[in-house]
Amino acid sequence: MPLELWAGPECTVNRVGDKFHDQMEASGFAHRLEDLDRLASLGITRMRFPLVWERTQREKGGPCDWAWSDERIARLAELKVAPIAGLVHHGSGPMWTNLLDPAFPELLAEYAAAAAARYPQIDAWTPVNEPLTTARFSGLYGHWYPHHAGDVSFVRALLNELRGTALAMRAIRKVNPKAMLVQTEDLGYITASRRLQYQADFENLRRWLTFDLLTGRVTPEHGLWDYLHRSGATEDELHAFIDEPCPPDIVGINSYLTSERHLDDRIDLYPPEKVGGNGRHRYADVETVRVAGAIVGSFEARLREASQRYDLPLAITEVHLGCSREEQARWLHQAWQAAQRVRAAGHDVRAVTCWAAFGSFDWDSLVTREQGHYEPGLWDVRCTPPRPTALASLARQLGHGEAPDSPVLEGPGWWQRESRILHAPQSSLYGLPVCGRPVLITGARGTLGQAFARLCDLRGLPHHLLCREEMDIADAASVEAALDKWQPWAVINTAGFVRVDDAEQDERQWRENVEGPATLARACAERAVRLVSFSSDLVFDGSKDTPYVESDAANPLNAYGRAKRASEHRVLELSPDALVIRTAAFFGPWDRYNFVTLALDALRRGETWQAANDQWVSPTYVPDLVHATLDLLVDGEQGIWHLANQGAVSWCEFAVLAARTAGLDPALVQGRPGASLGQVAPRPRRSVLGSERGLLLPALEDALARYLGEVQPAACPEPVVLDLPPMHETLEAATALP
């Protein structure tokens, strides 16, 4: 059988204190039945289905509410997608129990029995997702409930989870004897400096405990038998796993770049927040990919070693990366290719699972705080209905046996480039070159063009930043010659006449702002090259008291706005799949002549700063604008999009907010009517941008804080570069039982 595509939503329901964090509520998956149709459209054969205990049984001893799952299990049957039912996902169970409760295993088994009785047709189950990882976060590090920190609580939590898994499967198999255990675990590999190799050896053996215990391999000869015994496990408990093993029918491998760690005792080389210890030595604990000279392995290495260790069927049960869109696509594509290579080598790899299909929230804080930090997945839920991203297109091609065709897949991921090394890359480091068809960026001398080039470098997108001499956008012959020479897959046009007041009299602005984009659109359409063009909030007259959305009628007040509106019309008429971005009021960290930078410079000198108090705008942080535009471009979006940071301020209020954020005196900011500040072109009273397609940029306050962090960076240590041995040389010891 061919490699299968599976998928699932991020469905963590974890507890911090007495508050539960529900990813399905945050993403809206809990309320959209049609999300199942979206998943089925990918060509998936199975879905990791969240039959989560905490959501289903609300009261101790009370009945289970199956209404939500009844509707969805029935719909999956209609879609011919088989569920893998998950019961506890990074949680500690409902309010009346927890991972350290002696009754937890039996309580979980009771819930599993009820679930199996309700859904006897379900043939695949994951009673506890990533037991070892959850036990570490809840019992060893104290991040999640019950917030214990120590080996005793870690071991007790793990044993309760795995005993609960065995009892749950026993109860399920009384209903369906053929029910499969699909056991998931994160198998991140640890490297270390020579002095700390003992700690790496311990952690590399510990990472197998979920599977070793379930398969009955933890005997007195096992390297962690004494550790478990010292940490509170009784011999009877350990022998129970030996006498009645519950081996997985499918070993589910999860692997994240942040899970592959390096331990280094040279703590002076690292920021203080990276330094901890084990009571014997102090050391830095960092992502291996950030310090290793050699390119590290991930899914392929984890699959091979798991197959060699257990000789059981395998699946990659989570593929997700919180990053820019093309990096997410590269991660999924490389995971698929790794699975194919391991299958070709004779290992039984069944499937690859697209994870966090509708994105995830607040994993940057390990879901310990609710701050709304969102990482999109196959769909972006900031849009209504959820908007498919480039990941959905890629997954659909994989699921239907088609060859992926996205141009961004040709290049290496950030984890394979030299820029992955902390702080500053060095030419002596290991890394793959950026490759693939380029993006052309016009406007080499402008703020926006330079920002696109900078962030394309960061994101590993091949590009060429062109000045007028290399491509005059209003000269058809020049445009055609450049497109023929560079053979781009996309053009981002940041060139144009941007002096709003001068545009009232200067006829050149029509050539640059209308004729140029139209010429580009015609040539790009003829060659099937994607085009991004930029417009402005000044296409509106300011008569609306609420934010303008994409479908609102344009009625510009000045020549610049009229040119931008004409440009929008011409570009989309000539190239209907072009992406047109309306934005406003740039500020950013990489030029000295934007409003915020000039205002703060004046305030730092103790000077007053005058700004319009009768014109309201939605300022836009340039890095946010560029990242969102690139994501939309990679996603294949088209038409008009509004991109601005969320917030409405007058220019005067904007300066005051910036002053307060920077710790400067806001009283130095003086509000004046715009007309008294030398403005020639009429401006709209209120040109605040909203969006009916999706609010993709964060709040203005958040952007200002990041701007100040960028222009006033803390001192960083020099890069740490380690020339680690190739992965295959270190795996043998880790895969052999002591």
Q: What residues are labeled active site?
A: 560
Residue 2: C-alpha distances to residues 48, 318, 391, 578 (Å): 19, 19, 21, 37
Can you tell me the distance from the alpha carbon of 697 to that of 362, in angstroms, rounded to the nearest whole number? 16
What tokens does 277 get?
A: 């210890």
What tokens does 174 get?
A: 């009384």
Alpha helices, H only, 311-446: 325-344, 390-399
Can you tell me the distance from the alpha carbon of 67 to that of 440, in angstroms, rounded to the nearest whole number? 52
Can you tell me the distance from the alpha carbon of 203 to that of 191, in angstroms, rounded to the nearest whole number? 10
The CA radius of gyration of the chain, in Å to the nearest whole number, is 28
Residue 578: C-alpha distances to residues 297, 526, 534, 675 (Å): 38, 12, 11, 36
Q: Please, what is the Cα angle at 597 between 593 and 602, to 5 degrees?
A: 105
Can you tell me the distance from the alpha carbon of 618 to that of 596, in angstroms, rounded to the nearest whole number? 13
The label of the residue with tokens 């053979």 reads 487
Nearest CA among 641, 238, 286, 591 for reference residue 443: 591
Can you tell me the distance from the alpha carbon of 504 to that of 480, in angstroms, rounded to the nearest whole number? 31
Alpha helices, H only, 530-650: 559-574, 595-604, 622-635
Is residue 379 within 8 Å of residue 387, measured between CB atoms? yes
Task: Report which DSSP code applies to 285.
Answer: E
The label of the residue with tokens 């088609």 reads 402
Is residue 687 within 8 Å of residue 616, measured between CB atoms? yes
Half-sphere exposure in the Cβ direction for 7 (13 Å, CA): 30
Q: Beta strand pairing status for 620-621 and 530-536?
A: unpaired
What tokens does 236 get?
A: 């009877």
What tokens does 154 get?
A: 């870690």
What tokens does 448 get?
A: 């926006």
